[in-house]
Amino acid sequence: MQDPKQVARYGLDALLEAGADKAECSLTLTDKHELNVELGEFALMRTTFDTQVDLTAIRDNKKGSTSINKSNNDSLDRAVADVLGIAAASSPDDAYDIAEAQPPAAFSSGSDSPDVDRMHSRMKEMLESIKVRYPKLVLREAYLDFTRTRNYFLNSNGVDFVTNKGVYTLVAMFSSRDGEKVSSFNYTAFSLKDLERDLLSCGSLDMLMQQSTEQINTRPLEGKFVGDIIITPDCLGDMLHFLSYSIGDGPMISGTSIYKDKLDEQIASPLLTMHSRPVSDEICNGYFVTPDGYAAQNGTILQDGVLKTFLLSLYGSRKTGLDRAVTSGGAFVVDPGHTPLEEMVKSVKKGVLLARFSGGSPSDNGDISGVAKNSYLIEDGEIRYPISESMISGNVADMLMNVAAVSRERVDYGFSICPWVAVSGVTISGK
Amino acid sequence: MYSLDLREYAELFTAYTELRAQENRNVRITFVRGNNTHNSRTSTSGISARVYSNGSWGFASNPEITEDALKLAIEAATDNALFLDSRERKGKGQLPVATASSVNDYSTRKPRLGQMELLEFARELDNHIALKYPELASRITGINCLDMEKTLLTSDGSYSHSMVPRSFIYVVLSLVKDGVPTELSNVYGGFGQFEDVFTSPSQLFDGIETQYEHLVRKSQGVFPDAGLKTCVLDAELAGILAHEAIGHTTEADIVMSGSVASGKVGEEVASPLVTLIDFANSYGGETCPVPIYVDDEGTKAEDAVIIENGILKGYMHNKESARHLGVLPTGNARAYQFSDEPLIRMRNTAILPGTDRLDDMIASIDDGYYLIRPSNGQADSTSEFMFGVTLGYEIKNGKIGRAIRDTTISGVAFDMLKTVTMVSPDMKWLSSGMCGKKQPIPVGMGGPAIKCKVTIGGR
C-alpha cells in the first residue's frame, strides 16, 4: 500500500477535481489481534486487517457520502464518481458544511503493536484465577483484543489530522451454574493502554463474577412498591445514554427532545456532574477527532445538574442555530460523590441494587420499563438476596432529577468512569 | 463482485480450512422532518480464512481480494491456529465432515434503481406524510438496504455462492400532546432487493394511515397496570418470543455454557399447542426472510426442530457443538462480515400457526392486554426474557380498550410457554432487526398470535 497520507490526499483531490465545492476524505487502517475464550477454554486466535475510506462531497449545497474498504486508485476513482452522483441526487441544504481550517496535528495514544505472548499469559492467568475463586462460574465467552487504528483526516478547508491509537479491550460474558440451577448471564468490558495489571482486577470484572455465583439462587419480588434503586456503574450507561441521545442531533433537529429549551437549566440533581472527556489522560479509549472533522475537546455536559451543552454536530448546530459541541459524546466521566457506597445502601428502606437493566429503549419523553437483572433486594439498609422476575418502571428524566446520592467509589472502564447512583421514587414490581 | 475462483486455491490448505470471500453492500437514506440527514452507500469486502488444529482455531482476514491476500490470510490463520495449539494442546479430534454445495443468487432481474431514484422514492413518501398528516410534530422516513454476497470453499470440499438481500423503508411518526412527545415507528419491506420489494410509494400509504391512527390513540394512551397479565401477543411479538426467549437458549454454544435448556431434550417445556422451528430457507413452500442453504462452515443447512408439540426436541449446531453433543450439525454457523468468524446463529425462527381466531382470543380475556409491536428484546441463560412493546391496547371484558404507552414485557420462557392456551392460524415474518452476539446478523422471526400470561411493566 502506498503512503496512507498520500491515499487520503488522492481521495480529497479527486473529489475536488470531480467538481465538489467542499470535500472530506478520511482513511482508517485497523489491525486487530484477538484471543477468544469459549466455555473457559482458549478457542480462537484472530488477526484482521481492514481499511476504510470515507468520502464526502458537497456541491451546490447538496451532500453525498460513501465508504469503501479499498484504497487503490481505481477503487477511489469509482467511489469519487459515486459520491458526486449521490450528492447530485440529494436535496440542497444550507446546513451542509465541513469543518473550518484548524492547525494540522498528529495525535497518538497507546502502543503500536500487541504483546501477543502477554495477551495469552494474562488471559491464562485470568482463567486459572476464575477456576480457583469461582468454580461454579461458566465463562461463556471472553475476548481480549489489541486494536491499532491509524486515521488520516483531510478536508478542503485545510484540516489535516493524523491519529495513531493502540488499545487493549477485554469483553467477558458469564453465568454460574450449580446442578440444574443457573444464574442470569452478565457481562462487562473495559479498555486498557497496557497489560500491566491482572485482568480480573480491572473494571468491575471480579465484583460481577463474585455476584454471579451468588445469583444462582434468586427469589422473585412479591407485589409492587415505589422504592429506591442504587444503579451500579455497569448499569448507569443506560441512563446516561438517554440523556446524550436526547441532546444529540436526531431529537434536537426533529424538535422532539424534552431538553431542547433547557440549556443552562437544572435537568438533573445538583449531585450529578458529568463530562465527556475523549482526550483526557484518564480515558485510554477515547478519540481525538470528531466525525465532522474537529479536534475533539473535553466538555462538561452536566455541572451540578445544570445542562451545559447539547451534543450537536456541525450539521445539527447549523440546523438548530445552537452551538456545536466540542465533543461528540461518549468517554463519559461522572464525578464521584461524597457518600460511601456502604452508606448509600444503609440509607435505603426498601429498594433494589440495579446491576443490569434489560428493558425497552426509553421513549422520547423518558418513560422506561424493564427487568432488573443480576440485581438484589435492599431492605432496611441491607442487601438481602438476589432477585429474579422483577421489573423497574419509571421515567429517566425524572430519575435524573431524583438522584439522592452519588458514591465516592467509581469504576474505571477505560472508555468511561462511573460511580454508583441512588435514585428515589421508582416503581418496582414482582410477581 | 470479485473475479477470483476460490476453488483454484484448495491446494494451499494444510489443515481443516474454510476460505470465504464476501461483500456487504449497504444503502442508507434518511429524511428527518424533510431534511436529508443521511445519504450514503457503503461497500465492505474482503477475504478470510479459518483453520482448525486439534481443537484450536486460527482466523485471519484481509480487505483485498487478490491471490496474494488470499495466500496471506490462509498463512496467518494457520499460524494463529498453530500458536494456540502449541500452548493449549487440547488434543481434540477432527470435525465432522459435511460436504455440500449450492448457488443461490437472489439479485433482482429488474433494472437497478440508482441513488437518485431511491432518494426520490423516499422524498415522495416523506412529502406524502408531511401533507397528509400536518398535525405531526416530527417524522423520519428512511431506506435501508443490505446485500450480503458470499463465496465459500472448505477443505472438506464444500462450495457455495449466495447473494441474500433485504430492503426496508422505516417510518417514524411523532405527535406532541400537552408537551409530551409520543412516537410510533414501523418498518416496511423484507427479503429481496429494493426493486423486488417496493413498486411505488403509494404501496405504503395504507400502512402509514394505520400507523398514524395507532399513534393518535397511543398519544392518548395510559400506563399499563404493572404485573402478571393475560395477554394476546400478536404475530410480531410471537416472532421475537421465538427468537429471544427460546431461540437463544437453544443455540448449542449457549446450551453448553449451561442454559436452562441444557439436558432438557425430550422434556415438556411448553403447551402442546407450541411447535417452534428454526427454518433454514423455506416454510410452507415460500422462501424465508434469510434463506441459508449452506452455512459458513460448508454444512448443508437443515431445519432445526426445537420444540414439537411442547416437547424440547433439539438444539441449533455448528460442527464443533454437534461433535461435542454427538449429533449432526444443522447448518447454523454464520458470519456477518468478511472479517468475522462463523458463530452459531439463528436463521428463521418461528412458532407455527394454530387454529384459534384472533377475535376469539381477545373476546376470551376479561382484563388483559393486546400487544402488537415490539422494539428491542433480550433473553437470558435462565430463559427469562424481556421485549420492549411500542404498540398495544387494553383488553376489557373481551373488547379492545385504550391504547397503552411504551412498556416492557417479561417472563420465564419455559414457564410462560406452558400458559399458552390459544394460537392463531396466521403467520407473519419480521426481519428488519439485527441479532447481536459478538457480531450483528440478519435473522427472520415468525409467528402467529398467541394467548398467554406475561409480566407487563407499568405504573
Distance of CA B81 to the CA centre of its chain: 31
Q: Is the dihedral of CA B234, B235, B238, B239 positive or negative?
A: negative
Residue in chain A lying closest to B56 (CA): A43
From A336's Cα to the closest Cα of chain B, the distance in A is 31
Nearest to A42 among B44, B84, B114 (CB): B84
Q: pTM for the complete prediction?
A: 0.92
A311 vs A263: CA distance, rounded Å: 11
Q: Are residues A115 and A29 in the same domain?
A: yes
Q: What is the pLDDT of residues A23-79, one digit of tens each?
A: 999 999 999 999 999 999 999 999 999 999 999 999 999 999 999 999 999 999 999
Mean pLDDT along residues B422-441: 92
Place of cell 440478519: B442
Residues 6+ apart with CB under 8 A from A340: A407, A408, A409
Angle subtended by helix axes A116-133 and A205-214, to nearest 10: 30
**B123: which 3 cell numbers?**
422524498
Fold of B6-219: PmbA/TldD fold (3.30.2290)
Nearest to B408 among A43, A65, A360 (CB): A360
Best to test chain B binding among A1, A37, A44 (most B CBs inside 10 Å)? A44
Residue finishing a domain among A181, A214, A247? A214
DSSP structural state of residue B239:
H
Classify burial at A180, counting beta carbons within 10 Å of its beta carbon; exposed 0-12, middle 13-18, buried 19 or more.
exposed
Q: What's residue B179's pLDDT?
A: 82
- Rounded to the nearest 5°, which phi and psi values hold at B139? -155, 150
Q: Which residues of B touch A41 (CB under 8 A)?
A: 88, 90
A225 vs A425: CA distance, rounded Å: 9
B407 vs B306: CA distance, rounded Å: 29
Mean pLDDT along residues A317-330: 96
Strand partners, B371: B233, B392
Nearest to A44 among B257, B341, B457 (CB): B341
Cα distances (angstroms) measured from residue B222 to each of A191, B218, B402, B456: 43, 8, 7, 13
Given an 8 Å threshold on Cβ–Cβ distance, is B406 in contact with A367? yes
User: What is the domain extent for residue A287?
Assistant: 218-431
Mean pLDDT along residues B257-266: 90
Nearest Cα neighbor of B43 from A103, A200, A79, A39 is: A79
Q: How many CB atoms lie within 10 A of CB A400?
A: 22
Percentage of chain A beyond pLDDT 70 is: 100
Sequence ranges of chain B with CATH classification 3.30.2290.10: 6-219
Given an 8 Å threshold on Cβ–Cβ distance, is B257 in contact with A254? no
Q: Are B330 and B301 in contact (CB under 8 A)?
A: yes
Q: Which residues of B touch A51 (CB under 8 A)?
A: 63
Q: Which residues of B touch A64 (CB under 8 A)?
A: 39-40, 115
Q: Are residues A238 and A311 in the same domain?
A: yes
Q: What's residue A133's pLDDT?
A: 97
Q: What is the pLDDT of residues B277-320, one digit of tens each?
A: 999 999 999 999 999 999 999 999 999 999 999 999 999 999 99
Q: Which residues of B touch A313 (CB under 8 A)?
A: none
In single-letter form, the type of residue at position B13 comes to F
Q: What's residue A233's pLDDT?
A: 97
Q: What is the pLDDT of residues A154-180, one digit of tens each?
A: 999 999 999 999 999 999 999 999 988
Mean pLDDT along residues B391-418: 94
Residue B140 has pLDDT above 70, yes or no: yes
Q: Are B446 and B233 in contact (CB under 8 A)?
A: no
**A313: which 3 cell numbers?**
454536530
Q: Are residues A56 and A133 in the same domain?
A: yes
Residue A409 has pLDDT above 80, yes or no: yes
Nearest to A140 among B76, B118, B257 (CB): B257
DSSP E strands: which ranges in A179-266?
181-182, 186-192, 219-220, 224-231
Confidence band for A360, pLDDT divided at 50, 70 and 90:
confident
Q: How many CB atoms lie within 10 A of CB B97?
A: 14
B280 vs B57: CA distance, rounded Å: 26
A402 vs A336: CA distance, rounded Å: 17
Residue finishing a domain among A214, A241, A256? A214
- Of B383 and B11, the one with more pLDDT: B11
Q: Are residues A239 and A388 in the same domain?
A: yes
Q: Which residues of B touch A69 (CB under 8 A)?
A: 43-46, 63
Q: What's residue A386's pLDDT?
A: 96
Nearest to B138 among A69, A254, A361 (CB): A254
**A104: which 3 cell numbers?**
494540522
Nearest Cα neighbor of A120 from A143, A97, A104, A101 is: A143
Q: How many CB atoms lie within 10 A of CB B432?
A: 18
Q: Are residues A207 and A285 in the same domain?
A: no
What ipTM describes this predicted complex? 0.88
Q: Are residues A340 and A244 in the same domain?
A: yes
Nearest to A90 among B39, B140, B254 (CB): B39
Nearest Cα neighbor of A147 from A49, A54, A71 is: A49
- Of B5 and B166, the one with more pLDDT: B166
Classify burial at B325, counting beta carbons within 10 Å of its beta carbon; exposed 0-12, middle 13-18, buried 19 or more.
middle
On average, the pLDDT of chain B sits at: 94
Cα A37–Cα A358–Cα B217 angle in degrees, nearest 5 = 145
On average, the pLDDT of chain A sits at: 95
Given an 8 Å threshold on Cβ–Cβ distance, is B260 in contact with A255? no
B390 vs A363: CA distance, rounded Å: 9
Helices (H), ranges, A114-229: 116-133, 205-214
Q: Are residues A205 and A228 in the same domain?
A: no
Q: Are residues A53 and A80 in the same domain?
A: yes
A209 vs A212: CA distance, rounded Å: 5
From B308's Cα to the closest Cα of chain A, the distance in A is 23
**B84: which 3 cell numbers?**
494456540
A381 vs A303: CA distance, rounded Å: 30
Q: Are A385 and A377 in contact (CB under 8 A)?
A: yes
Q: Which residues of A touch B146 (CB under 8 A)?
A: none
Confidence band for A339, pLDDT divided at 50, 70 and 90:
very high
Given an 8 Å threshold on Cβ–Cβ distance, is A69 in contact with B258? no
Place of cell 392460524: B425
Q: Are A235 and A211 in contact (CB under 8 A)?
A: no
DSSP structural state of residue B294:
B
Q: Are residues A264 and A409 in the same domain?
A: yes
Confidence band for A1, pLDDT divided at 50, 70 and 90:
low
Phi-psi domain of A374 (left: phi exceeds 0; alpha: psi -120 through 50; beta: other): left
DSSP codes, A141-167: EEEEEEEEEEEEEEETT--EEEEEEEE
Q: Are residues A48 and A125 in the same domain?
A: yes
A107 vs A294: CA distance, rounded Å: 13
In single-letter form, the type of residue at position B431 comes to S
Q: What's residue B257's pLDDT?
A: 87
**A395: which 3 cell numbers?**
421515567
Q: What's residue A329's pLDDT?
A: 95
Q: Are residues A228 and A206 in the same domain?
A: no
From B378's Cα to the closest Cα of chain A, the distance in A is 7
Q: Are B235 and B428 in contact (CB under 8 A)?
A: yes
Residue in chain B lying closest to A394 (CA): B459
Classify burial at A153, counting beta carbons within 10 Å of its beta carbon; exposed 0-12, middle 13-18, buried 19 or more.
buried
Q: Which residues of B touch A255 (CB under 8 A)?
A: 33, 137-138
- Rounded to the nearest 5°, which phi and psi values hold at B73? -65, -45
Residue B320, SS3 per DSSP: helix
Q: What is the pLDDT of residues B149-174, one digit of tens each?
A: 999 999 999 999 999 999 999 999 99
B16 vs B13: CA distance, rounded Å: 7
Q: Are B191 and B166 in contact (CB under 8 A)?
A: yes
Nearest to B88 among A42, A180, A361 (CB): A42
Q: What's residue B1's pLDDT?
A: 60
User: A156: domain CATH number?
Assistant: 3.30.2290.10
Residue B383, SS3 per DSSP: coil
B438 vs A169: CA distance, rounded Å: 13
Nearest Cα neighbor of A393 from B405, B395, B241, B183 is: B405
Given an 8 Å threshold on Cβ–Cβ distance, is A431 in contact with B455? yes
A342 vs A165: CA distance, rounded Å: 38
Q: What's residue B2's pLDDT?
A: 62
B130 vs B138: CA distance, rounded Å: 9
B314 vs B68: CA distance, rounded Å: 43
Q: Are B250 and B315 in contact (CB under 8 A)?
A: yes
Q: Are residues A120 and A177 in the same domain?
A: yes
Q: Which residues of B touch A363 (CB under 8 A)?
A: 181-183, 405-406
Q: Are B288 and B444 in contact (CB under 8 A)?
A: yes
Number of H helices, E strands in chain B: 9, 26
Nearest Cα neighbor of B220 from B180, B192, B187, B191 is: B180
B251 vs B37: CA distance, rounded Å: 39
Cα distances (angstroms) measured from residue A44 to each of A37, A244, B51: 7, 36, 9
Percentage of chain B beyond pLDDT 90 is: 84
Q: Which residues of B touch A370 (CB under 8 A)?
A: 386, 388, 408, 410, 457
A255 vs A244: CA distance, rounded Å: 15
Residue B428 has pLDDT above 90, yes or no: yes
**A131: which 3 cell numbers?**
477456576
Q: How many A×B Cβ pairs under 8 Å?
A: 243
